[in-house]
Amino acid sequence: MSTTTPAAAKRVQYHRYGGPDVLRFEDFEPPAPGPGEVLVRVRAAGANPMDRKIREGEMKMITGRDFPMGVGYDFAGVVAAAGPGVTRLAAGDEVLGGAPLKRGGAFAELVLAEETGVVRKPAGLSFEDAAVLPTVGLTAYQALFTKARLRPGQAVFVHGCLGGVGRAALQLAAVHGISLAGSCRPTAADEARALGADPVVGFTFDPAPLRGRFDLVLDTAGTLPYKAARTLIRPGGRIVDINPTPAKFARGALPGPYQVLIAKAVTEDLDAVARAAGEGALRLPIGGRVALPEAVAALTARERDTPPGSGKFVVTVE
């Protein structure tokens, strides 16, 4: 076990909720890892849509007001120090994982994380490819196998199948012998078919021809009408939505097939995702890279100008 901590480091952070104008690239003092924690020297960090929602305060009931808050959650790097009680990881291990929701801070030279949310990086996987996996991989995996408990021979319909979670869900489902279908932009239908989805429909579609064909409808876009989703599932099927709102949580509390998912840091699940990536069965496209000192400008420009479907965005750290 090692608890040596550098005196100072740089990261992207903010001191109040708001738009991209609140982002700052500043010094911070990384704390020594406490019980069950690891301090990771970041090599790459991946951006997610939830980063923006958190920064704008949409999830402040969960994240609170303990400012400054670090930006970013998904990372890959090398363990710099391990706190008391850490048994799976040690200084020098190459890892991937996610920072706790209340803390964030992956867009940084150093990030503090709980051991439960960090696993070893497969040797053949680059730091950049590893950094885009944790949130989307966990969300897809837990939708498929925790919420819906899918088995080989069953079928999933992924609404928004070419987003990060959608792509991960298609690939993880295929590994487990699950039949695939989904929706996406019509111009990208061939790409969805190349991932194994059949049939592929547009975002606005008539569900009647697909009535009762699926054991799981995974709504990654949060825009599929409930009536349409009900039409698609067979008896005993599940509907999982990954875009939480108070109204959706209320619906999910009622008896029935509908559930809202916020992914949790389960070590075994993240390890399964990492193994799939290490075996070449899971890859997510990277749509842009930027070095940490230029991250604020790049994130601001990307938020304002980047069209959907452009791939995951990665911040690299020398």
Mean pLDDT of the residues in the chain: 93
pLDDT band for position 23 (cuts 50, 70, 90): very high
Return the pLDDT at 310: 64
Cα angle value 60/66/70 (rounded, 5°): 85
Return the pLDDT at 60: 83
Asked if 286 contacts 128 with a C-beta cutoff of 8 angstroms, the reply is: yes
Residue pLDDT, tens place only, 120-142: 999 999 999 999 999 999 999 99
pLDDT band for position 7 (cuts 50, 70, 90): low
Interval 149-175 mean pLDDT: 97
Return the pLDDT at 311: 77
Euclidean distance between CA atoms 26 and 24, whole angstroms: 6
Checking if the pLDDT of 1 tops 50, the result is no
Return the pLDDT at 246: 83
Query: Exposure of 147 by Cβ count < 10 A (0-12 exposed, 13-18 middle, 19+ buried)?
Result: middle
pLDDT band for position 307 (cuts 50, 70, 90): low
Structure letter (DSSP) for residue 108 = B
Phi-psi region of 246 (alpha: psi -120 to 50; beta: other; left: phi over 0): alpha
Residue pLDDT, tens place only, 58-101: 888 788 888 999 999 999 999 999 999 999 999 999 999 999 98
Structure letter (DSSP) for residue 90 = -
Asked if 164 contacts 130 with a C-beta cutoff of 8 angstroms, the reply is: no
Checking if the pLDDT of 309 tops 70, the result is no
